[in-house]
Amino acid sequence: MKCTVDIDSKEYEDRFLKHYDELKWLYCELYQNNMTAFEKLCYSMYDYYNKRKIELKNIDRKREKNPNWYKENQLLGMMLYVDAFAKNLSGVKEKLDYIEECGVNYIHLMPLLDTPKEKNDGGYAVSDFRKIKPNLGKMEDLEQLSEECHNRGISICLDFVMNHTSEEHEWAKRAKKGEKEYQDRYFFYDNYDIPSEFEKTVPQVFPTTAPGNFTWLSEIDKYVMTTFYPYQWDLNYRNPVVLNEMIDNVLNLINKGIDVIRIDAVPYIWKQIGTDCRNLSQVHSIVRMMRMICEIVCPGVLLLGEVVMAPDKVTPYFGTMEKPECHMLYNVTTMATTWNSVATRDVGLLKQQMDIVNSLPKECIFLNYLRCHDDIGWGLDYTWLMQFGIGEVSHKKYLNEFFTGKYPNSFARGELYNADPKSGDARLCGTTASLCGIEKALHEKNNKDLEKAICLDIMLHAYMLIQSGIPVIYSGDEIGQLNDYSYHNVAGHCEDSRYVHRGKFQWDFALKKIEKKSIQGRVFSGIKNIAEIRKQFSVFSSNADVWTIHTGNKSVLGIVRANKNEKLIALFNFSEYDKTVCIDEDDVEYIELISKIKVQTNKINIPAYGVYWLLKK
Ligand code: GLC
């Protein structure tokens, strides 16, 4: 049966026909040939295309002509909570000059849709996908902000929390009232028989703060599936109504002027008894359908998958060349491995991790970051570490002790997250500055240590910026903002240590960035300088060849980037001692881009926590 949507736009028709067969195939496979539901989806897609503003359609057309627009070295991102940064959406609009001053042209606004006041998981428990949280503003404010951002060449990324809704969402409320139609949008069970089957194979996301994957609802005597917090009810994507309605929700959001959609917790969206309910093949079918739907309705929009998993689970979300899924994914293993090198002063594992990433096709674009609003999980390559006798349990214990300042001579000030007393496992929270030692050095008034901490902070940002893809700074890190312990006294937050690194942006400290010798001034100008250099040389584009080199020193990481015109050798010293390295290169002269000094490559002295970006003259 052919789809009966009456299309009178040539542009739309071309895009639609390009993907029609595959879209229909995947949909019918997932939903047992339910053509009525498929037709509904097709009507609604066309409807959202028709409702799309001409300005946004023009952006789509421009990006369709240059589909590599996000793969160059021009994007620099920042993630921020709207209220922590500028109170509300119009506040963010007023602060766009600051964003530009940072060199940032991509902002990820953390979840801003309506949620219950307390039980909201930092915005990830949405109670209304069509409404902005009243304290942040209205949909019109988001549209105005997006317009202004687009005028300034800034792209906006927004979360799409598709795995679950809040228990206060209209569907959940009606399900609680006993309406079967709405119960069918979630996973409801009369007794613990099926849940107990699931529990045999499904791991726990929040073992301490929200143990188990089901919640008992005493008001209706039923269990509901809750992979995350008990107030976040998992949606049942076996029901085509759920997929159709959620696609409507995301297209509605996209039409407000969103450039990048971060698909939150995407590996979890399909459930199957007897599996771990992560990364199932149906998840990939849905992501592939989302990619095609965007290419048809709003081809300028990018999909960023939140896949915080081991590398072999992450890369499949890029899909294939013929059937791409996400445009971008988080470089999560590199992020965690970076911190491992900070604690161990050993770059061996980081070099190995970079080799894996560098061997992927250049189409695989990663979002690079040092930390985000979530915890840092120690998902390292323990098989590799084991060859040196480093075991997973003891190493995680070491990392956690180091980063919480318990290890002798540790400079870091982090907090544990979801420490599981049974397994001894735990993850980590903290701002970049606090993890780098700025907090401790300030507290102890130790200028020597402070100097080192600032160098480490800047070196890590330089390392993030050397990687191919899109570097994203967490708002506040650009001025060395410290942990914020006030969450301990806030109801709804005190149990969740991720709030330690989600503090309010400190505008009074930001003012100090013009004082050259202040911490804010040093960190700000340090990061800004390297971010500007990154934009100036094409060798930083994702097209460049990238490989690691041996530096002869276990604490110094060496990376080469090269394209037709330029060659750059980057060196990062992960130790608090000065190091000398020899690079197996002809004895040529290089210019160090950050300090502008000339360097011979046969013998290079690299200071403690120093970074060199050496460009071949
Ligand atoms: C994602 C978010 C995280 C949230 C979880 C549940 O992982 O990044 O903050 O807790 O999804 O929605």
Share above pLDDT 90 across residues of the chain, in percent, rounded to a whole number: 94
- Mean pLDDT of all residues belonging to the chain: 96
Question: What is the CB < 6 Å shell around ligand 1?
Answer: 121-122, 124, 161, 228, 264-265, 306, 373-374
Residues 6+ apart with CB under 8 A from 172: 165, 166, 182, 186, 233
Q: Which DSSP state fits 235? A: B
Ligand 1, residue 498: give the atom nearest the CA: 9
- Tell me, in angstroms, the distance from the centre of ligand 1 to residue 265's CA: 6
| Residue whose CA lies nearest to ligand 1 atom number 8 | 374
For the question of residue 197 being annotated catalytic, the response is no
Q: Which pLDDT does position 209 carry in this prediction?
A: 86
Ligand 1, residue 229: give the atom nearest the CA: 6
Average pLDDT over residues 346-375: 97
Would you place residue 4 in the very low, low, confident or very high pLDDT band (cuts 50, 70, 90)?
A: confident
3-state secondary structure of 154: coil
Q: Do the bridges between strand 415-417 and strand 427-429 make them parallel or antiparallel, or are there none, so unpaired?
A: antiparallel
Q: Which DSSP state fits 186? A: B
Q: Which two structure tokens, joined as six digits, stand for 385?
A: 């570490």
Q: Report the alpha-carbon distance of residue 346 to residue 365 in Å, rounded.
A: 26
Q: Which pLDDT does position 215 carry in this prediction?
A: 98
Average pLDDT over residues 82-94: 98
Average pLDDT over residues 32-53: 98
What pTM, to 2 d.p., does this model score?
0.97
- Tell me, in angstroms, the distance from the centre of ligand 1 to residue 324's CA: 24
Residues 6+ apart with CB under 8 A from 6: none
The burial of 15, by beta-carbon neighbours within 10 Å (0-12 exposed, 13-18 middle, 19 or more buried), is given as buried
Of 584 and 174, more confident: 174
Q: Which pLDDT does position 602 carry in this prediction?
A: 79
- pLDDT reading at 197 higher than 60: yes
User: How far is CA 234 from each of CA 117, 161, 225, 228, 513, rounded to the nearest angstrom?
Assistant: 20, 11, 6, 8, 44
- pLDDT reading at 8 higher than 90: no
The burial of 608, by beta-carbon neighbours within 10 Å (0-12 exposed, 13-18 middle, 19 or more buried), is given as middle
- Tell me, in angstroms, the distance from the centre of ligand 1 to residue 300's CA: 25
Give tens-digit pLDDT for 311-326: 999 999 999 999 999 9
Best of 108, 110, 228, 332 to mutate for ligand 1, by most ligand atoms within 8 A of CB? 228
Ligand 1, residue 161: give the atom nearest the CA: 12
Q: Which pLDDT does position 613 carry in this prediction?
A: 97
Give tens-digit pLDDT for 121-155: 999 999 999 999 999 999 999 999 999 999 999 99
Average pLDDT over residues 101-127: 97
Q: Report the alpha-carbon distance of residue 316 to residue 285 in Å, rounded.
A: 12
Whether 155 contacts 194, CB under 8 Å: no
Q: Which pLDDT does position 565 carry in this prediction?
A: 87
Q: Which pLDDT does position 617 carry in this prediction?
A: 65
User: How far is CA 212 from each of CA 126, 161, 186, 498, rounded to the nearest angstrom?
Assistant: 21, 20, 17, 20
For the question of residue 141 being annotated catalytic, the response is no
Q: Which pLDDT does position 587 carry in this prediction?
A: 63
Q: Which pLDDT does position 10 carry in this prediction?
A: 96
Active-site choice (114, 259, 264, 576)? 264
Least confident interval from 259-268, 393-402, 535-544, 575-584:
575-584
| Residue whose CA lies nearest to ligand 1 atom number 12 | 124
Q: Report the alpha-carbon distance of residue 382 to residue 310 in Å, rounded.
A: 11
| Residue whose CA lies nearest to ligand 1 atom number 7 | 265
Give tens-digit pLDDT for 221-256: 999 999 999 999 999 999 999 999 999 999 999 999
Pure H helices in 263-373? 281-297, 311-314, 332-344, 348-358
Give tens-digit pLDDT for 561-592: 999 889 999 999 999 999 999 886 666 788 99
Q: Which pLDDT does position 7 carry in this prediction?
A: 82
Q: Which pLDDT does position 5 carry in this prediction?
A: 79
The burial of 508, by beta-carbon neighbours within 10 Å (0-12 exposed, 13-18 middle, 19 or more buried), is given as exposed
